[in-house]
């Protein structure tokens, strides 16, 4: 990746200059209380913000949260993020109640050197995600007018052709933030010549969501371990009964083809935790993966699978993990994800957690984040990078 870095901008001097920072502050919120349940993405942008503040920049921070429909929606407000960011920085963070309107302009105008203002959710403006280049460009013009330079530190959004990610860099001097540079540096190791054995662990619910990355990785990996809801389509492709487990009928033939081409390198669970219902208190027991009762659904991989996966992981020198092994949010079905994650922490080599639910699981299960080589902030972005796709946000920084 040939881009200018944050240090290049700092070397030019940013004291007194307004710098627009696109961050990924798309944190999970409790549906009842609205409280932030995982502040990992806020903490991830702190190194870039701190460097800019220390250099005297006037920081204009922007992000999306959730998927509002191009209009203000209180449940997706970034107000709780502004409060938490202020706590982490130990400084007041001005919060604009709109994206590019009067409140935004007033908040930016009031900034002193080293101050931070956070704009309201970018997706409250239809121009942010519009497919129409004119509409998107008009919003990018308004965003760019708030600042004199642009820093992209939102790796979790670089696979989106959105105004704040793709169009604003064309309108301002632009650099990559600390987080984006680190993410690309780490993932490029996986797409280059990773130290072997190279093991990839994939979970999550749907094969269709991961098909492109499976296709891209299969020729490169030594072993591909598959758990989560997606494993049941593979088990069905082997001719096994999967009960009422999550199943993508239209993907069965594709899975059969992948298994044939993998020549034994794809490893599936040998046992699963089968439950009477999708509920935290559902009756459940562990059964062989080829003997799931017709009236039960698998919600986690079983202990023999964890042991088998852990043995393969333990011999690896490079591990990439994306997607939980089961419904880890329910304690009864979290053991598979915990067991695999703990095995990855013991690897004598380079380990990467591919963002999204995997990163959330690490924190929800109370695992030591520092025991992983790298925890990505971008699930979709990291997968698309490994697929070899051109990421719009990265391409915009290269121009």
160 is in an annotated binding site: yes
Q: Where are the alpha helices (DSSP H) in 55-132?
A: 79-89, 102-109
89 is in an annotated binding site: no
User: Which phi and psi (to 5°) does residue 174 adopt?
Assistant: -135, 145
User: Which phi and psi (to 5°) does residue 287 adopt?
Assistant: -130, 160
Encoded tokens for 76: 């997706």
Which helix (H) or strand (E) segment holds residue 52: the answer is helix 46-54
Which residue has 């970034």 as its token pair? 78
189 is in an annotated binding site: no
The catalytic residue among 18, 41, 236, 338 is: 41
Contacts of 92 (CB under 8 A, 6+ apart): 86, 115
The catalytic residue among 127, 356, 378, 379 is: 356
195 is in an annotated binding site: no
Q: Let me know if 243 is a catalytic residue.
A: no
24 is in an annotated binding site: yes
Any idea what DSSP says for residue 260? Answer: H
41 is in an annotated binding site: yes
- Enumerate the β-bridge partners of residue 226: 202
The catalytic residue among 40, 43, 380, 389 is: 380
39 is in an annotated binding site: no
Q: Let me know if 323 is a catalytic residue.
A: no
Which residue has 């993932």 as its token pair? 187
Angle, CA 143 vertex, CA 142 and CA 145 arms, to 5°: 65
298 is in an annotated binding site: yes
CB atoms within 10 A of CB 283: 11
Q: What is the largest CA-CA distance in the chain?
A: 67
355 is in an annotated binding site: yes
Q: Let me know if 206 is a catalytic residue.
A: yes
Q: Let me know if 41 is a catalytic residue.
A: yes
Which helix (H) or strand (E) segment holds residue 23: the answer is strand 18-23
122 is in an annotated binding site: no
The catalytic residue among 43, 105, 171, 206 is: 206
Any idea what DSSP says for residue 331? Answer: G
209 is in an annotated binding site: no
Burial 223-258 (b: 16+ CB within 10 A, else e): bbbbbbbbbbbbbbbeebebbbbbbbeebbebbbeb
356 is in an annotated binding site: yes
210 is in an annotated binding site: yes
> Binding site for substrate, residues?
24-26, 41, 64-67, 123, 160
> Binding site for ATP, residues?
210, 298, 329, 355-358
> Binding site, residues?
24-26, 41, 64-67, 123, 160, 210, 298, 329, 355-358
Q: Which residues are catalytic?
A: 41, 206, 356, 380
């Amino acid at each position: 990746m040939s881009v200018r870095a944050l240090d290049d901008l700092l070397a030019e001097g940013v004291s007194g200059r307004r710098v627009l920072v696109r961050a990924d502050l798309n944190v999970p919120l409790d549906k009842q209380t609205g409280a932030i349940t995982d502040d990992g993405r806020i903490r991830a942008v702190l190194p870039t913000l701190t460097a800019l503040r220390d250099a005297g920049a006037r920081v204009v921070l922007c992000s999306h949260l959730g998927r509002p429909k191009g209009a203000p929606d209180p449940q997706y407000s970034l107000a709780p993020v502004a409060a938490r960011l202020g706590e982490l920085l130990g400084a007041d963070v001005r919060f604009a109640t709109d994206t590019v309107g009067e409140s935004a302009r007033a908040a930016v105008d009031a900034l002193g050197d080293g101050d931070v203002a956070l704009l309201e959710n970018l997706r409250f403006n239809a121009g942010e995600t519009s497919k129409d280049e004119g509409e998107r460009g008009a919003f990018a013009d308004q965003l760019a007018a708030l600042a004199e330079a642009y820093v992209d530190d939102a790796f979790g959004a670089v696979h989106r052709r959105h105004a704040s990610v793709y169009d604003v860099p064309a309108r301002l001097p632009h650099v990559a933030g600390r987080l984006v540079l680190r993410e690309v540096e780490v993932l490029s190791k996986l797409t280059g010549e990773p130290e072997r054995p190279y093991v990839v662990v994939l979970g999550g619910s749907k094969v269709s969501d991961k098909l492109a990355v499976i296709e891209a990785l299969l020729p490169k990996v030594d072993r591909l371990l598959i758990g989560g809801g997606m494993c049941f389509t593979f088990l069905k492709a082997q001719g096994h009964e999967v009960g009422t487990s999550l199943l993508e009928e239209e993907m069965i033939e594709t899975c059969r083809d992948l298994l044939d081409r993998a020549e034994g390198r794809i490893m599936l669970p040998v046992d699963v935790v089968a439950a009477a219902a999708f509920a935290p208190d559902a009756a459940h027991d562990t059964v062989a993966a080829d003997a799931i009762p017709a009236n039960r659904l698998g919600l986690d991989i079983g202990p023999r699978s964890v042991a088998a996966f852990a043995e393969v992981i333990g011999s690896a020198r490079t591990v990439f993990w994306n997607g939980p092994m089961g419904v880890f949010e329910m304690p009864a079905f979290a053991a598979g994800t915990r067991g695999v994650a703990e095995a990855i922490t013991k690897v004598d080599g380079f380990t990467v957690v591919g963002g999204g639910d995997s990163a959330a699981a690490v924190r929800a299960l109370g695992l030591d984040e520092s025991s992983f080589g790298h925890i990505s902030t971008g699930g979709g972005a990291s997968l698309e990078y490994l697929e070899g796709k051109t990421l719009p946000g990265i391409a915009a920084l290269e121009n």
